Structures are given as C-alpha cells and as structure tokens.
C-alpha cells in the first residue's frame, strides 16, 4: 500500500480532532504529503471512523494513484496550498470560534503573541463556494505575507472555517488547536470589553526575544 504510514497517521489525527471537538461529523479534512504524493481524507466520512485504506492517494496534480473512495471535496484547496508553500501537511476544520471570527471579521486581531507561531496576523480568505478553485485561490492568497514575509501557516475562510499547515501532520494539527484557541480568546474577550490589540512594535519585540515565525520550505 502506498503511503501506508501517512494514511495511518491521517486516521490517528482524525480521531484526535473528533475527540477534541475541532471537527464534528464529516466536516473538516486533512492531508499529508510525501514527495510527489498526497494522502487525503475521503469525502463524506467521519474523521474518527476511517481506516488507512479509506484515504485516497493522489499525485500533486490531483490524479488518483491509489484508493477506492472519493477524495475530500476540498482537495483542490489542499493541492493549491502544497503548490504554493511546499509544506507537508494541511488541516482544515469548521471549528466553532474559527467559524465565528471568519463570519464577522476580515482578520483575527493579534490579541496574543502566540499568533506569531502561525506566522503573524491571521487573515480571512474571501468567501467562495466550498470545493471550488476560487476558494483554493482565495485561501492561497490569504496565506501569503506574514510578519517576516515567510508566509502564514494559518488562514480563516469567510463563513466557513480555518486551515493550518505544518512541517508534519502533528504540527499542522497543533496549529489548528492554536488557531481555535486564539479565536476563542478573541470572541470571549469581546463579550466583556474591547480587547487590547498588540501593536506591530510589540509583536516585533517578541520576535527579538526569540520567537521566530515559521516560513515556507520553499522560501
């Protein structure tokens, strides 16, 4: 079986995501790249009920290489992100606070310095219908930039959810947990007052202190 370890890893992270409430039902999808191949979660399946063979393997152009099931409908977005960043893993969720911020804001104001772990201020990609090349292009654009110019490791998707990347699946998952935590802090803070937002200077001071924002492998 091609990408056996990676497909098993998708199942493990899928169970973890369902367990921590980052996804509910069959919402959300994840993928991992090994060289020129990508293993992705199947369309319409609960992320905590998959077996490795349920996860199709594709090449980077989206051609099916192995597997019986239909790849996730959000596969065009995953492939566009791999092409743009050269990263190794992608996690897409409909997590609650991420969706709340993505429905009301054009970016997640930097209320905590750990936003730098995701590359800087997280932007909300413009709305487009799920699964379309337009949405893939919008998300790709939202992941450009970042505070050091090395590229964002997270984006929110208007009226939809969030997406994070990482050097491996575990890291992409941890970034998804962090994104949801940051959105949760912001939304809850808004319920008791106007959150104080960190200035550019304050964020740069954190970088000087040693927190280096990530950058894409291709940069």
Question: Which own/partner contact pairs does 54-60 have at CB distance under 8 Å and 24+ positions apart?
Answer: 55/7, 55/10, 55/11, 57/2, 57/3, 57/7, 60/33, 60/36
| 126 noted as active-site residue | no
Task: Give me Rg for the CA atoms of the chain.
Answer: 17
Handedness of CA 77, 81, 83, 84 (dihedral sign): positive
Of 6, 53, 66, 74, the active-site residue reads 74
Measured from the Cβ of residue 208, the count of other Cβ atoms closer than 10 Å reads 7
Residues known to be catalytic: 74
């Amino acid at each position: 079986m091609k990408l056996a370890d990676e497909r098993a890893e998708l199942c493990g992270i899928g169970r973890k995501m369902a367990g921590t409430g980052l996804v509910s039902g069959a919402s959300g999808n994840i993928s991992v790249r090994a060289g020129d191949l990508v293993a992705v979660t199947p369309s319409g399946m609960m992320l905590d009920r998959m077996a490795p063979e349920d996860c199709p393997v594709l090449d980077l152009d989206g051609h099916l290489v192995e597997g019986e099931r239909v790849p996730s409908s959000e596969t065009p977005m995953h492939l566009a992100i791999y092409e743009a960043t050269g990263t190794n893993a992608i996690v897409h969720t409909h997590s609650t606070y991420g969706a709340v911020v993505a429905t009301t804001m054009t970016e997640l104001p930097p209320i905590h310095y750990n936003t730098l772990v995701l590359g800087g201020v997280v932007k909300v990609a413009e709305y487009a219908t799920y699964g379309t090349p337009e949405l893939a292009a919008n998300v790709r654009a939202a992941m450009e930039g970042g505070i050091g110019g090395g590229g964002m490791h997270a984006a929110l998707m208007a009226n939809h959810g969030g997406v994070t990347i990482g050097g491996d699946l575990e890291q992409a998952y941890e970034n998804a947990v962090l994104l949801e935590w940051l959105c949760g802090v912001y939304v809850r803070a808004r319920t008791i007052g106007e959150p104080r937002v960190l200035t550019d200077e304050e964020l740069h001071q954190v970088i000087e202190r040693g927190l280096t924002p990530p950058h894409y492998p291709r940069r």
